[in-house]
Structure 1
Amino acid sequence: MKNYVISLVSANERREHITSEFSKHAIKFSFFDAITPDLISSVAKDLGLDIVNSDLRNSEIACLLSHVVLWQKAIDDNLDYIGIFEDDIHLGEQANKILSNTNWIPDNAHIIKVEAFYPKVLASIRSSFIPTSNRKLVALKSKHMGTGGYILSNSGAKALLAFIKEYKKLIPIDHIMFKEYLVKGEYKVYQMMPAICIQDFILMRNNTTLPSYLAEDRKARKGSCIKIEEKPSLHKKITRELTRFFTQFIRLLKAEAIVKVKFK
Structure 2
Amino acid sequence: MKIFLINLDRDAVRLTHMRDQLDGVAFERISAVDGSSFPPTAKGLTRFELACLESHRIAWRQLLDGPEDSACIVEDDLHIWPGFAALTESASWIPRDAHSIKLDTYLQKVELGDKQVAVGKRQIARLYSRHQSSAAYIVTREGAARYLDLTAGAPLPADYALFPNHPRRLGLRIYQLTPAIAIQDHLLESSQGGKAFATAMAAADGSAPARRSSTLEKLGRESIRLASQAADLVEWTYQKAVLGLETTTVGVG
TM band (smaller chain): 0.7 to 0.9
SS at match of 1:258: strand
CA distance in 1, matches of 2:79, 2:42: 35
Q: Which residue of 1 aligns with 2:232?
A: none
Post-superposition offset of 1:190: 0.7
Structure 1 residue 36 corresponds to structure 2 residue 34: yes
In structure 2, the partner of 1:145 is 132
Residue 183 of structure 1, CA deviation: 4.4
* Contact 1:40-1:65 within 8 A present in 2 as well: no
Give 1:220 deviation, angstroms.
7.8
Q: Give the match for residue 17 of structure 1.
A: 17
Equivalent residues of 1:114, 1:192 under 8 A apart: yes
Cα distance in 1 for partners of 2:238, 2:53 equals 38
Q: Can you list the C-alpha shifts for 1:85-109, whole angstroms capped at 9, x where unaligned?
A: 1101011121111022212212122
In the superposition, relative to structure 1, how do residues 181 and 74 fare at CA in structure 2: closer, same or farther (>3 Å)?
farther
Q: Which of 20, 39, 55 lines up with 1:66 in the alignment?
A: 55
- Tell me the residue number matched to 1:209: 196
Give the match for residue 172 of structure 2: 187
* 1: CA distance, partners of 2:2 / 2:43: 31
Structure 2 partner of 1:130: 118
Name the CA distance, whole Å, in 2 between partners of 1:90 and 1:77: 28
CA-based RMSD of the aligned residues comes to 2.9
Helix, strand or coil for the counterpart of 2:14? helix
Quote how far apart the aligned CAs of 1:211 are.
1.4
Q: Report the CA distance shift for 1:85/1:259 in structure 2 as closer, same or farther (over 3 A).
A: same
What displacement does 1:63 show? Answer: 1.0
Distance 1:188 1:65 in 2: 22
For residue 181 of structure 2, the aligned residue among 191, 196, 211 is 196
Q: Distance in 1 between matches of 2:42 and 2:197?
A: 31
For 1:103-118, list aligned pairs within 5 A: 103-118=92-107
* 1:249 to 1:134, Cα distance in 2 relative to 1, 3 A: same
What's the CA shift for 1:66?
0.2
SS in 1 for 2:30: strand
Q: Deviations over 1:157-206 (max 9, x none)?
A: 01111111231xx2311112211571443331111000111111112369
Normalization by structure 1: what TM-score?
A: 0.76
- The Cα of 1:67 is off from its aligned counterpart by 0.3
Q: What percent of counterpart residues are identical?
A: 25
In the superposition, relative to structure 1, how do residues 205 and 146 fare at CA in structure 2: closer, same or farther (>3 Å)?
Answer: farther
State how far apart, in whole Å, the 2-side matches of 1:158 and 1:102 are.
Answer: 18
- Paired residues, what number? 225
Q: Could you tell me whether the CA contact under 8 Å between 1:121 and 1:144 is conserved in 2?
A: yes
Partners of 1:106 and 1:35 lie apart in 2 by 31
Deviation at 1:21, TM superposition (A): 0.8
- Structure 1 letter corresponding to 2:108: P
TM-score, normalising length from structure 2? 0.79
- Stretches of 4+ moved more than 3 A in 1? 37-41, 51-54, 217-221, 247-250
Correspondence for 1:232: none
SS in 2 for 1:217: coil
Query: What's the secondary structure of 1:160's corresponding residue?
Result: helix
Give, as a single letter, the amino acid of the residue that structure 1 aligns with 2:189.
M
